[in-house]
Structure 1
Amino acid sequence: MILGWIALEIGETADGEPNGLTVALSTIGGSFVSLLKAAVPPLVFTAIVASIANLRGVSNAARLAGQTLLWFAITALIAVSIGIGLGLLFEPGANAAVSADDAAAPSGTGSWLGFLEGLIPANVLGIEASASTETGDNGALVGVETSIGFNVLQIIVVALAFGVAALKAGKKAEPFLAFNASLLSVIQTVLWWIIRLAPIGTMGLIGRAIASYGWDSLTSLGWFAGAVYVGLALVLFVVYPILLRAHGLNPISYFRGAWPAIQLAFVSRSSMGTLPVTERVTYRNLGVPRSYASFAVPLGSTTKMDGCAAIYPALAAIFVAQFFGLDLAVTDYLLIVLVSVLGSAATAGTTGATVMLTLTLSTLGLPLEGVGLLLAVDPIVDMGRTAVNVAGQALVPTIVAKREKILDVEQYDSANAENLFTEEGHDDAASAPPVEEQVGEPVAART
């Protein structure tokens, strides 16, 4: 925070470029998130295949998956209801000081068809490539920039198919499963090295946030940003603790164990970049069996977005409607709920929630130009949105594991952030008993 404040005081260079300290902080923070993201595709694939191999019974896997999706929907329903209520209470669109000249449609929009098409893997690795061209003043081609990305939802689909196929193949697939388990151990070791850099990476991310984000923009959109953060706080510090208490779990232990992931999500603004840490805190700190956590957390990183896909689009849609003087009927509010509960996978764990917002606005028939009004404070509200996303991605597996009696309650009660940085050892996925042997049997009895 001190380094970020110093960089902010130094300001830009004479050429209007960021100063050296800001560049250094951005490079450190961005490099750390990039390292985490690089580990996501192989980690998700090998962990899900290994978890299916450990599940052994498709019926148990289907039940756990069903319970997980059900609680994703329940928490999203609560979150979007809070967002709608705060939108009507704060009236952010009526109290905004932004100009209609700031309205601008986004370059890309979300759609239900695009989401469904995104479920179909383009290749076995779920890798996506895009190219953009740059032309000069005379129209001549100056260069072509190619970027490579990945679609975690597609990786999950491919991994599920490989895992189930390996079970169906029986003994012939044992060498494949053994190789996958070995590769998973190697990936987890490399990931452990990356996570050890978390203090340095977090320093860069926090410093960059203070030095770069436009806090002055809050003056014109203060009511909207305030409503978003009130909603996020209600979900994170009221709704989640109530759900934990209802299942006999201590909320303090949850926050103590999940805090490293929540903190990293806040400063990185990326659920996907935080995914490796989220998965680790879920099984290591919160006591969720790794065979289940390695399936539920990656799934949650694409479909569990209480911040980006529930509270934010609800408030943003109400903001746009109020700003343009459009009245929303009861059916419109029901559509907001429907989109938030069913369409959160469209956010795909990326930084920002423009896809989900445009999906909501287009479903309601509201002007997409309203997205441009909110861009000024998007980095600020995105920090809180992402933190709540990740908190929910660790919460639901914990609740489901407790309901299915496979949660290690003793490990959960003793959760602390330091457990994240201890050596790998007994918790290797390959050594965990199949979940079919755990369901319905208390941990104490197994011990």
Structure 2
Amino acid sequence: MKERSSLIGVAVLGLDRKKPEQAQTFRNVIDAVYAVVMRIVTLVLKLTPYGILALITKVVATTNPDEILKLIKFVLASYVALLVMFVIHLILLALFGYNPVTYVKKVLPTLVFAFTSRSSAATIPLNVETQTKKLGVSDGIANLSATLGATIGQNGCAGIYPAMLAVMIAPTSWDFILTLILVVTVSSFGVAGVGGGATFASLIVLSTMNLPVALAGLLISVEPLIDMGRTALNVNDSITAGLISGKVLKENDQDVFNDHGMDLDATARS
């Protein structure tokens, strides 16, 4: 795909010299297609809450109370695990000299967007803007951490959720836990940063561990509820990685991170 894109780019540049009108027409077509795709993404994001409501309604209408109670317990357990991991992120930031309270205040709007959209990929622009303009991370590190974090090393979708499913249906031992950690780590590479990506990550982990993959299907009715929290954690871990990387590489601006006036101005404009 990259090779084809390069060839198209070279061809368009060559066409600029010979037939600039046609080259411009091609660019206009690409811009139009891009606009349509972004409009589709916007519509999907707007319709997502209604889809979640429909899934919840179906579960409540077709499941007996005992089964619903079990699903509620699993949702609560998932959010406890996500909260624990979020606290670990704050501890890491504190160890590197960042104020966790200031950090939470600055990234909260981005995490709320990730929570409601259920898409790490859709949050990339806001993620980069938050890192560079509110947290003082350099452009290069912010772009790298945000884009890679949308598909690699997702703590929520590719880490916690598959591990929880595996532990639920298999006897735990040190050998099993170590193998599970290794499999989860490897499977976290390349997970799609869109809603439902954790289901595919779970299928990879369960099948690799020779565990029944049907469990992922049984929980798919409540998966959107958990996915909102997982996505927020995924985005938070990419921001955390950007901040820590900037600190280690000395490419962070601590004054921007500590500047509270910028947050007040942004709030006033919104």
TM-score using structure 1 length: 0.46
CA deviation map 1:300-355 (0-9, x unaligned)? 11113100011111111122x1xxxx434422211211122232123121221112
- How far apart, CA to CA, are the structure 2 residues paired with 1:351 and 1:273? 10
- How far apart, CA to CA, are the structure 2 residues paired with 1:210 and 1:355? 19
From the superposition, tell whether residues 210 and 344 of structure 1 become closer, same or farther in structure 2 (CA, over 3 Å).
closer
From the superposition, tell whether residues 227 and 388 of structure 1 become closer, same or farther in structure 2 (CA, over 3 Å).
same
Question: In structure 2, what residue type is equivalent to 1:263?
Answer: V
- How far apart, CA to CA, are the structure 1 residues paired with 2:182 and 2:148? 20
Aligned with residue 208 of structure 1, among 38, 50, 55: 50
Q: Which residue of 1 aligns with 2:12?
A: none
Question: In structure 1, what residue type is equivalent to 2:152?
Answer: T
Q: Which residue of 2 aligns with 1:148?
A: none
Preserved contact between residue 285 and residue 417 of structure 1 (Cα < 8 Å)? no
Deviation at 1:255, TM superposition (A): 1.4
1:327 aligns with 2:171: yes
CA deviation map 1:154-204 (0-9, x unaligned)? xxxx9xxx9xxxxxxxxxxxxxxxxxxxxxxxx9xx99xx9xxx9xx99x5
Preserved contact between residue 52 and residue 225 of structure 2 (Cα < 8 Å)? no
- How far apart, CA to CA, are the structure 2 residues paired with 1:284 and 1:389? 20
Aligned with residue 226 of structure 1, among 76, 79, 96: 76
- How far apart, CA to CA, are the structure 1 residues paired with 2:124 and 2:264? 16
Question: In structure 2, what residue type is equivalent to 1:335?
Answer: T
Aligned with residue 278 of structure 1, among 107, 112, 127: 127
Q: Which residue of 1 aligns with 2:137?
A: 288
- Structure 1 gaps, min length 5: 1-120, 126-157, 163-186, 423-447
Q: Which residue of 2 aligns with 1:258?
A: 107
TM-score using structure 2 length: 0.74
Q: Which residue of 2 aligns with 1:140?
A: none
Preserved contact between residue 260 and residue 277 of structure 1 (Cα < 8 Å)? no
Query: Is the strand fraction higher in 1 or 2?
Result: 1
Deviation at 1:213, TM superposition (A): 4.6
Aligned with residue 258 of structure 2, among 399, 413, 438: 413
Preserved contact between residue 335 and residue 363 of structure 1 (Cα < 8 Å)? no
Matched residue count: 228
Question: In structure 2, what residue type is equivalent to 1:384?
Answer: G
Deviation at 1:209, TM superposition (A): 6.9
- Structure 2 gaps, min length 5: 10-30
CA-atom RMSD, angstroms? 3.2
Where in structure 2 are the equivalents of 1:36-75 lying within 5 Å?
Answer: none
Aligned with residue 347 of structure 1, among 188, 191, 198: 191
Deviation at 1:205, TM superposition (A): 6.6
From the superposition, tell whether residues 349 and 207 of structure 1 become closer, same or farther in structure 2 (CA, over 3 Å).
closer
Preserved contact between residue 151 and residue 192 of structure 2 (Cα < 8 Å)? yes
Deviation at 1:227, TM superposition (A): 1.1
Preserved contact between residue 293 and residue 397 of structure 1 (Cα < 8 Å)? yes
- How far apart, CA to CA, are the structure 2 residues paired with 1:250 and 1:227? 28
Where in structure 2 are the equivalents of 1:36-435 lying within 5 Å?
Answer: 121=1, 124-125=4-5, 204=46, 208=50, 211-214=53-56, 216=60, 218-236=68-86, 238-319=87-168, 321=169, 326-352=170-196, 353-414=198-259, 416=263, 419=266
Deviation at 1:286, TM superposition (A): 0.9
Query: Is the helix fraction higher in 1 or 2?
Result: 2
Identity of aligned residues (%): 31
CA deviation map 1:35-92 (0-9, x unaligned)? xxxxxxxxxxxxxxxxxxxxxxxxxxxxxxxxxxxxxxxxxxxxxxxxxxxxxxxxxx
Task: Using the TM superposition, name which of 404-413 and 340-349 deviates more.
Answer: 340-349
Deviation at 1:219, TM superposition (A): 2.5
Preserved contact between residue 288 and residue 401 of structure 1 (Cα < 8 Å)? yes
- How far apart, CA to CA, are the structure 1 residues paired with 2:226 and 2:264? 25
Bigger relative contact order, structure 1 or 2, given CA contacts below 8 A and separation 6+? 1
Preserved contact between residue 128 and residue 142 of structure 2 (Cα < 8 Å)? yes
SS at 1:375 equivalent: coil
- How far apart, CA to CA, are the structure 1 residues paired with 2:267 and 2:201? 32
- How far apart, CA to CA, are the structure 2 residues paired with 1:207 and 1:418? 30
- How far apart, CA to CA, are the structure 1 residues paired with 2:103 and 2:96? 12
From the superposition, tell whether residues 417 and 240 of structure 1 become closer, same or farther in structure 2 (CA, over 3 Å).
farther
- How far apart, CA to CA, are the structure 2 residues paired with 1:123 and 1:293? 26
Deviation at 1:258, TM superposition (A): 1.5
Question: In structure 2, what residue type is equivalent to 1:208?
Answer: Y
